[in-house]
Amino acid sequence: MFDNAWNNILDWFRDRSERAKLLRSFNESARAAFVAGIAPTLLKASISKGDSAYRHQFSNWLNTGFRIQAFTGRVLAKEELVRIGKVILDDSVLVRRLIVLGWDTLEIHGDAGTYGCRWQLKDFIPLPKFNGDE
């Protein structure tokens, strides 16, 4: 029991560090693409509350949403939001990493308006069944 608790503590710190690293890498790439003119819109990733209905076996206790905000200064059309979301969801390596780091919800929205799009991450990758004690 003590060993399990100790491993969970170590995992928590390790995952926290990996999550911060992933967000930093995404934001740095987005900023570089925006500055170089490759991307017309600046994207910014952050952690959000997420949707508890989308939980899976790797989900965190709190803040399970991976939110991408597009800074366009206008209300984005649904097609534009879906387009960004599809690119993220088509990258199976990124989706798998998001899942194992405890995220279960992908959210895309602009900096104006009140609407955004939301996806359940476990729909996009086959998750094997694990025993409860593992």
Partner 1 sequence: MNDTLIQKGVALAGQTVSQEAGNSLFLNWWMWLAFVEFIIIIFLLFKKRVKSEGTAKRRFKKEALGQEVDFDNIIDSSFNSAHLYDELKVKCHPDRFPTDMKKNAIAVGLFQEISKNRNNIKRLLELKEEAIQKLNINQP
Return the residue matching tokens 């991976």: 66
Q: Taking the complex as a whole, how short is the minimal distance between the CB of residue 19 and partner 1, in angstroms?
A: 11
> Which residues of the shown chain bind partner 1 in the complex (CB under 8 A)?
3, 6-7, 18, 22, 25-26, 28-30, 32-33, 38-41, 43, 57-58, 83-84, 86-88, 90-91, 93-94, 96-97, 99-101, 128, 130-131, 134
- b vs e for 50-64, b when ≥16 Cβ sit within 10 Å of the residue's Cβ? beeebebebbbeebb
Q: At what angle do helices 92-100 and 78-90 cross, to 10 degrees?
A: 80
Q: Which is nearer to partner 1, 51 or 80 (CB)?
A: 80
Q: Taking the complex as a whole, how short is the minimal distance between the CB of residue 130 and partner 1, in angstroms?
A: 4
